[in-house]
Structure 1
Amino acid sequence: MIPASAVPSTALDLLITQGFDATSVDELAAAAGISRSTFFRRFGSKENMVFADQEMIITHVQTTLAASSVDAIQTLIDAAHVVFDQYTANPEAAQLRHKLLSSVPSLRERELVSTHRYEKAFFDFLSRRDLVTTQANRALGLGLCAGLVAIHNDHLRMWLRDAQSTDRTKLAHDVSLFLTRFSDLLQPDAQHPAPVSAAPSIVVSVLSPGADEQSILDAVSAALKQQQG
């Protein structure tokens, strides 16, 4: 089940219309239909209000990862869906939040912190599955987590520009395509086919005794061309 948004669209719209710094807590509380004391009890600050949904989503992701009993690849796809579904469930709030973050530098900086928290949640999951116990696997795991967040964010940006351009199915396809490149890390017990080396080419050339080096090279080159043709 997708949790309801914790941030009223009316409050986000007010921050955009009046400006983040120019809008008071009293005005935000009124726009949200709550008292000033309830606002502080629920959010603590204007900035925390903007990211209240983010906190809820991160908690949901952590719960999804911790409770999963399926394989690592499917679990990570499910977690990506948790984030995508939450944002796309309320298009108006998602558009307003995106517009607000684009106009307030301090909020963009906090957004970057949130990105790292998602990466950490994914990496903690890999750690609990004992998939990053070596330094080499740790490096791969860090790259995997950053890539997973990047793919999700790219799909979310596409959706914000045009809701018809992507959906959770397309997101799952791209995430799966990406994660299968890390199958040795994510599915260490699976049987992975060994790479097949091309069979060496054998070239036989008949040369006259005493042929010079250039004659030998020309003969081999001609034989190779004949074999490839």
Structure 2
Amino acid sequence: MSVESRQPPRTRAGRTTAGRRRLRHALTVAAIDLFLAQGYDATTVDEIAAAAGVGRRTFFRYFRSKEDAIFPDHEEVLRDIERSLATALPTQDPVAVACTAVGLVLEHYLADPDVSLKRFALTRSVPSLRDREVATVDRYQRVFARYLRERFQAAGDPAADLRASVAAAAVAAANNHVLRRWLRSGGKDDVHAAAKEAFQLVVDAFSPPVKPGGQTVVAVLEASAPVSEVVRQISAALRPAE
């Protein structure tokens, strides 16, 4: 059955959170299928709404334009990333935290592989959609840079601003590399293994150096030495030099 002949019955807009999410997804699927079948420029909002079984006004309750329908959840993913960064412990490696947070983007694409693969085909052929995708990646990167800058500054890094900007770009680049490799493979690549490898490279390259600890003390004593002698010798070895 062609996209043009598919005319689902009119549906009422979702009245619950789950219902709204389903309707938004239906509009996205309808938009992507129509764009692939008859072209992005040739497809109208009315056609997208009709294919999803709703009216034009309902479409605009969910999206500002037909372009927005292709990227329906990026704002939600961005909020999840910001929440993940905000709740990270101060003792955690900030670069590792950023890599874990950007993994939410991968999970978003993996949650609906059919739509993700079709969207990839569209962004490769429609410049305006590709530009929109690039702008979205830039927003993620700026969020990571701000978080890393704050963490590096708190650690007293004199190059906090530069390190944060470069590290954030590396986090975004690693994520894009893994995601695009998975998309080009038709969803067959082991994305989690690839992500683990890519993010480890970023962590190794940009994590703050571990501050050296104290000296290691080795005490050589007779097995029969009393506890008081063990304590005396260790205390003497740990005593600061005068």
Alpha-carbon distance between aligned partners in 1 of 2:203 and 2:83, rounded to the nearest angstrom? 21
One-letter identity of the residue aligned with 2:121: K
CA contact (8 A) 1:50 1:97 kept: yes
Could you say which residue in structure 2 is the equivalent of 1:180?
A: 204
* Whole-angstrom CA distance in 2 between matches of 1:177 and 1:85: 20
Q: Secondary structure at the match of 1:129?
A: helix
Distance 1:161 1:171 in 2: 15
Runs of 4 or more, structure 1, over 6 Å off, are: 132-135
> Would you say 1:82 and 2:104 are equivalent positions?
yes
Query: Which residue number in structure 2 is paired with residue 22 of structure 1?
Result: 42
- In structure 2, what is the Cα distance between the partners aligned to 1:43 and 1:74? 34
Q: Which residue of 2 aligns with 1:171?
A: 195
For structure 1, list consecutive stretches of 5 or more residues without a partner in the other structure: 194-229
Q: Deviations over 1:112-162 (max 9, x none)?
A: 111110110101211342538766321121111111111111111111122
Q: Is the 8 A contact 1:77 1:172 kept in 2?
A: no
Aligned partner of 1:54 among 66, 69, 74: 74
1:192 Cα deviation from its structure 2 partner: 5.0
Q: Which runs of 5+ in 2 are unaligned?
A: 1-20, 214-242
Please, which of 25, 33, 38 is the counterpart of residue 13 of structure 1? 33
**Alpha-carbon separation, structure 1, partners of 2:39 and 2:124:** 12
Give the structure 2 partner of residue 108 of structure 1. Answer: 130
| Contact residue 123 and residue 129 of structure 2 kept, 8 A | yes
The structure whose RCO (Cα within 8 Å, separation 6+) is larger is 1
Spell out the pairing of 1:16-165 with structure 2 (5 A cutoff). Answer: 16-69=36-89, 70-131=92-153, 136-162=159-185, 163-165=187-189
Contact kept? 1:16, 1:100, Cα under 8 Å: yes
Identity of aligned residues (%): 34
